[in-house]
């Protein structure tokens, strides 16, 4: 079997080897462009220090913790999460009730066809 | 000798892990010998599974009858009726066997280091081998009652393993939840089997498929089989147990619980296509749409619940639910258009191939991600993302393995998840463009979620709390690296994988008449 052949998806095609070749060419072009830039990087200078709003960040704030990420997304979908999260009660009887609910719906559908 | 071994490979596939499970308490007291015994017997189990799968893909389906003078003789002499317990291994079963064989080996390697510091390890490995035997039995048996037995073996051993670290109350709760959900599901399956047996005096799947009349009792049996299996694979809205159990179990166990969930998914597909998949007799499209609906719900609810999580394993558990949605969607589309030959040819077959390809891809990259989370937990002792950071400096191999798994689950080329998702997107778009758009949106959210995990775990300066952290022990690294290599390999040669094992599996699932003829004879 020819492992390099293209994967036919019915309406399109996918060839990882062509993608890899294109990726390599893109990387070479990117490196070429980068090499024409001016080298002003100075290690251990102010260039390498993290700043928050123009002020030097305290050491314990260097790393943004997981709880601070996607605040905007969660705030925008607050209504959705306020409904969804409480359903996850952690109570076994609730889990069983959900299963019984799905069985009931499926029985209605199954016996009507 | 070799031909005898090959002939009885289906029996050895179960016999070896069962022998390992029952011998472990006797020989497992010595740590050195236990390690050797575990790795040798798991290697043998995996090799037997891979060898058996290869022979199925090369020579066609295998019927193995336990206790018969001639193991390939499905029908009892003189009766023309399949009486004995048998394994019916077609390409679909072989695909699942490959998944279990690969994951069982990688998980065992990993657990030798990850769980090595605990007491009671002979019991741990006994249960692990029992779970492997149960999963292998579930996907290879051709007998419904035998399926129930293997389901129970896998479920009970899984529950005990989830609660293995009994010093933490939450682990016991997780084990109890898994046991109760599995017990309830198993009971429902048993009642369904009883309903079918009471009508047809048969337990063999092929025999039942040939004789089923689609009565009201049959439809009740279908519901009692399909719903608990959907629950066991973590489909929304019956997914609640999944994050509770996956998060609290040891990571090696969680990685294999993913595989047993996929064995339930296999059973759901087998019931839908082989036992009840006769579009001339019932409106099978309704059940197809039901599975599609479960898939869409699972994809969306799973990923949106994952994003706000702070516990890395709980987050990954919600992603497991979300990814199961893709599999349900892909194969559900195939079921929905089963009665429409043109639609099946145009996009149904591709959709099913995508769904089945996603099963093996998901098993590999999700197993890998759980193992990386376990490696981090092993070194820093917390699963809380808010207390992590800077681990890329000290655990570079774990980080690289995580990147491979994260990019794969987000469907980024050229990793394996992209190829299967592409098959699903394009074929589902022809079925229903809105659902395809939801599937793509879910992938974007998956990427966003794993960017958060990657940043929280590995990026940033070294944290004072984790200054002395080192890379994970070598067996854990080997287990993760093995899966990471497969993630990349399957992504680079998707055509070879699809053409050699995925498409034959999809064709086997669709070939109801062929499955029946394999056991009962005929054209």
- The distance of B262 to chain A (nearest Cα, Å) reads 19
pLDDT above 90 for B71: no
Structure confidence at residue B117 (pLDDT): 79
pLDDT above 70 for B522: no
Instruction: Give the closest of A12, A94, A102 to B227, CB-based.
Output: A102
Q: Which of B113-122, B238-247, B424-433, B474-483 has the lowest mean pLDDT?
A: B113-122
Other beta carbons less than 10 A from residue B240's beta carbon: 25
- What distance in Å separates the CA atoms of residue B467 and residue B333, rounded to the nearest whole number? 51
Provide DSSP, B464-518: GGGTT--PPPHHHHHHHHHHHHHHHHHHH-HHHHIIIIIHHHHHHHH-HHHHHHH
Q: At B460, phi and psi to the nearest 5?
A: 90, 170
- The distance of A3 to chain B (nearest Cα, Å) reads 5
First to last CA, chain A: 45
Q: Within 13 Å and on the Cβ side, how many CA atoms surround A32?
A: 6
The confidence band for A6, taking pLDDT boundaries of 50, 70 and 90, is confident
- What would the two tokens of residue B358 be? 């996603």
Q: Do A95 and B238 touch (CB under 8 A)?
A: yes
Of the candidates B242, B295, B262, the one whose C-alpha atom is nearest the C-alpha of residue B438 is: B295
Q: Do A10 and B188 touch (CB under 8 A)?
A: no
Q: Does B77 touch chain A (CB under 8 A)?
A: no
- What would the two tokens of residue B224 be? 């009692």
The confidence band for B73, taking pLDDT boundaries of 50, 70 and 90, is confident
Structure confidence at residue B189 (pLDDT): 98
Structure confidence at residue A11 (pLDDT): 84
- Chain A hits for B347, CB-CB cut-off 8 Å, are 10-11
pLDDT above 60 for A1: no
Please say whether the beta carbons of B395 and B375 come within 8 A.
yes
Q: At B279, phi and psi to the nearest 5?
A: -65, -20
Structure confidence at residue B3 (pLDDT): 81
The confidence band for B478, taking pLDDT boundaries of 50, 70 and 90, is very high
Q: Which of B222-231, B294-303, B354-363, B461-470 has the lowest mean pLDDT?
A: B461-470
Cα angle vertex B92, ends B86, B95, to 5°? 105
The confidence band for B29, taking pLDDT boundaries of 50, 70 and 90, is confident
- Segment B89-110, tens digit of pLDDT: 999 999 999 999 999 999 999 9
Residue of A nearest to B462 (CA): A63
Q: Do A69 and B427 touch (CB under 8 A)?
A: no
- What distance in Å separates the CA atoms of residue A48 and residue A58, rounded to the nearest whole number? 14
A to B CB pairs, distance under 8 Å: 155
Residues in Cβ contact with B304 at an 8 Å cutoff, skipping those fewer than 6 apart: A77, A80, A81, A84, B445
Please say whether the beta carbons of B424 and B329 come within 8 A.
yes
- Chain A hits for B456, CB-CB cut-off 8 Å, are 65-66, 69
Structure confidence at residue B179 (pLDDT): 96
Please say whether the beta carbons of B85 and B14 come within 8 A.
no
Mean per-residue pLDDT, B207-213? 95
The confidence band for A62, taking pLDDT boundaries of 50, 70 and 90, is confident
pLDDT above 70 for B313: yes
Q: Does B426 touch chain A (CB under 8 A)?
A: yes
Q: Do B460 and A111 touch (CB under 8 A)?
A: no
Of the candidates B211, B195, B347, B344, the one whose C-alpha atom is nearest the C-alpha of residue B281 is: B211
B42 three-class SS: helix
The DSSP element (H or E) to which A7 belongs, if any, is strand A7-8
Report the mean per-residue pLDDT for chain A. 88
Mutate to test the interface with B, among A71, A99, A107 (most CBs of B within 10 A): A99
- What distance in Å separates the CA atoms of residue B291 and residue B350, rounded to the nearest whole number? 17
pLDDT above 80 for B74: no
- Chain A hits for B283, CB-CB cut-off 8 Å, are 113
Instruction: Give the closest of A6, A106, A113 to B495, CB-based.
Output: A6
Our measurement of the distance from residue A20's CA atom to the centroid of its chain's CA atoms, rounded to an integer in Å, reads: 22
- What distance in Å separates the CA atoms of residue B156 and residue B134, rounded to the nearest whole number? 10
- What distance in Å separates the CA atoms of residue B52 and residue B67, rounded to the nearest whole number? 19
pLDDT > 70 in chain B, percent: 99
Structure confidence at residue B452 (pLDDT): 96
Q: Does B197 touch chain A (CB under 8 A)?
A: no
- What distance in Å separates the CA atoms of residue B330 and residue B349, rounded to the nearest whole number? 9
Structure confidence at residue B285 (pLDDT): 93
Structure confidence at residue A73 (pLDDT): 94
- What distance in Å separates the CA atoms of residue B24 and residue B38, rounded to the nearest whole number? 8
Instruction: Give the closest of A9, A17, A103 to B350, CB-based.
Output: A9
User: Between residues 206 and 245 of chain B, which touch chain A (CB distance below 8 Å)?
Assistant: 216, 219-220, 222-224, 226-228, 230-231, 237-238, 240-241, 243-244
Structure confidence at residue B70 (pLDDT): 80
Structure confidence at residue B442 (pLDDT): 97
The string over B431-454, giving b where at least 16 C-beta atoms fall within 10 Å of a residue's C-beta and e elsewhere, is bbeebbebbeebbebbbbbbebbb
Mean per-residue pLDDT, B112-133? 91
- The distance of B15 to chain A (nearest Cα, Å) reads 34
Please say whether the beta carbons of A42 and A35 come within 8 A.
no
Instruction: Give the closest of B230, B240, B386 to A88, CB-based.
Output: B240
Q: Do A63 and B452 touch (CB under 8 A)?
A: no
Residues in Cβ contact with B183 at an 8 Å cutoff, skipping those fewer than 6 apart: B155
The DSSP element (H or E) to which B86 belongs, if any, is strand B86-89
Q: Does B310 touch chain A (CB under 8 A)?
A: yes
Q: Which of A96-100, B77-81, B412-416 has the lowest mean pLDDT?
A: B77-81
Evaluated on CA atoms A37, A40, A41, A47, the torsion sign reads negative
Please say whether the beta carbons of B45 and B51 come within 8 A.
no
Domain ranges of chain B: 283-492
Cis ω for the linkage preceding B339 (within 30 of 0): no
- What would the two tokens of residue B500 be? 């050699």
Provide DSSP, A32-92: HHHHTS-----TTSGGGS-EETTEEPPGGGSS--GGGTTHHHHHHTHHHHHHHGGG----H
Q: Do B220 and A107 touch (CB under 8 A)?
A: yes
- Segment B161-202, tens digit of pLDDT: 999 887 668 889 999 999 999 999 999 999 999 999 999 999
DSSP B463: P
Higher pLDDT, A37 or B11: B11
Of the candidates B421, B261, B269, the one whose C-alpha atom is nearest the C-alpha of residue B334 is: B269
Q: Which of B4-13, B66-75, B223-232, B287-296 has the lowest mean pLDDT?
A: B66-75
Structure confidence at residue B167 (pLDDT): 66
Instruction: Give the closest of A62, A84, A99 to B301, CB-based.
Output: A84
Mean per-residue pLDDT, B274-295? 93
Residue of A nearest to B414 (CA): A16
- Chain A hits for B223, CB-CB cut-off 8 Å, are 103, 106-107, 110
- What distance in Å separates the CA atoms of residue A28 and residue A10, rounded to the nearest whole number? 33
- What distance in Å separates the CA atoms of residue A85 and residue B313, rounded to the nearest whole number? 17
Evaluated on CA atoms A93, A98, A102, A105, the torsion sign reads positive
Instruction: Give the closest of A9, A66, A88 to B385, CB-based.
Output: A66
- Chain B hits for A67, CB-CB cut-off 8 Å, are 310, 385-386
pLDDT above 80 for B514: yes
Report the mean per-residue pLDDT for chain B. 93
Residue of A nearest to B450 (CA): A66
pLDDT above 70 for A65: yes
pLDDT above 80 for B467: no
pLDDT above 60 for A29: yes
- Segment A93-105, tens digit of pLDDT: 999 999 999 999 9
- Segment B423-457, tens digit of pLDDT: 999 999 999 999 999 999 999 999 999 999 999 99
The confidence band for B523, taking pLDDT boundaries of 50, 70 and 90, is low
């Amino acid at each position: 079997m020819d492992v390099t052949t293209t994967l036919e998806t019915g309406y399109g095609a996918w060839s990882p080897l062509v993608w890899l070749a294109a990726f390599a060419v893109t990387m070479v072009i990117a490196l070429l462009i980068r090499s024409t830039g001016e080298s002003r990087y100075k290690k251990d200078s102010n260039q390498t220090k993290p700043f928050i709003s123009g002020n030097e960040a305290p050491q314990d704030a260097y790393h943004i913790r997981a709880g601070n990420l996607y605040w905007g997304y969660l705030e925008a979908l607050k209504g959705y999460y306020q409904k969804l999260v409480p359903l996850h009660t952690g109570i076994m009887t609730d889990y069983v009730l959900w299963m019984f609910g799905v069985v009931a719906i499926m029985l209605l559908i199954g016996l009507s066809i | 000798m070799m031909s005898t071994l090959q002939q009885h490979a289906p029996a050895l596939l179960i016999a070896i892990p069962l022998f390992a499970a029952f011998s472990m308490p006797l020989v497992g007291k010595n740590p050195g010998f236990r390690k050797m015994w575990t790795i040798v017997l798991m290697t043998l189990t995996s090799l037997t599974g891979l060898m058996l799968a290869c022979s199925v893909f090369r020579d066609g389906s295998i019927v193995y009858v336990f206790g018969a003078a001639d193991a390939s003789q499905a029908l009892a002499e003189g009766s023309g009726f399949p009486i004995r317990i048998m394994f019916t291994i077609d390409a679909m079963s072989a695909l699942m066997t490959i998944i279990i064989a690969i994951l069982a080996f990688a998980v065992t390697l990993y657990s030798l280091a990850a769980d090595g510091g605990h007491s009671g390890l002979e019991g741990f490995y006994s249960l692990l081998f029992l779970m492997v035997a149960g999963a292998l039995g579930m996907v290879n048996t051709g007998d419904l009652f035998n399926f129930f037995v293997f389901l129970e073996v896998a479920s009970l051993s899984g529950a005990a393993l989830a609660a293995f670290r009994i010093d933490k109350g939450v682990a016991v709760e997780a084990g109890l939840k898994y046991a109760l959900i599995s017990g309830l599901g198993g009971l429902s399956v048993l009642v369904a089997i009883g309903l079918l047996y009471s009508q047809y005096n048969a337990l063999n799947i092929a025999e039942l498929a040939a004789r089923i009349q689609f009565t009201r009792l049959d439809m009740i049996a279908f519901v009692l089989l399909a719903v608990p299996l959907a629950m066991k694979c973590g489909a929304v809205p019956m997914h609640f147990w999944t994050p509770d159990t996956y998060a609290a179990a040891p990571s090696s166990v969680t990685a294999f619980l993913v595989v047993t969930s996929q064995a339930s998914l296999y059973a759901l597909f087998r019931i839908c296509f082989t036992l009840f998949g006769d579009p001339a007799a019932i409106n099978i499209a309704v059940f197809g749409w039901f599975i599609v609906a479960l898939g869409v719900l699972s994809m969306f609810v799973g990923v949106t619940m994952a994003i706000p999580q702070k516990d890395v394993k709980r987050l990954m558990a919600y992603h497991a639910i979300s990814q199961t949605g893709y599999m349900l969607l892909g194969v559900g589309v195939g079921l929905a258009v089963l009665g429409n030959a043109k639609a099946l040819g145009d996009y149904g077959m591709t959709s099913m191939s995508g769904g089945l390809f996603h099963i093996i891809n998901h098993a590999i990259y999700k197993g890998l991600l759980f193992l990386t989370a376990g490696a981090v937990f092993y070194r820093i002792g917390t699963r809380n993302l808010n207390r992590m950071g800077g681990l890329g400096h000290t655990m570079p191999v774990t980080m690289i393995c995580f990147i491979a798994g994260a990019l794969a689950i987000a469907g980024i080329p050229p990793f394996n998840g992209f190829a299967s998702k592409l098959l699903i997107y394009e074929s589902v778009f022809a079925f229903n463009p809105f659902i395809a758009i939801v599937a793509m949106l879910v992938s974007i959210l998956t990427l966003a979620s794993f960017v958060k995990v990657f940043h929280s775990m590995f990026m940033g300066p070294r944290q004072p709390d984790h200054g002395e952290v080192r890379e994970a022990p070598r067996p854990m690294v080997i287990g993760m690296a093995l899966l990471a290599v497969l993630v990349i390999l399957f992504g680079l040669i998707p055509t070879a994988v699809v053409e050699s094992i995925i498409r034959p599996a999809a064709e086997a699932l669709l070939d109801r008449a062929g499955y029946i003829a394999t056991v009962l004879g005929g054209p």
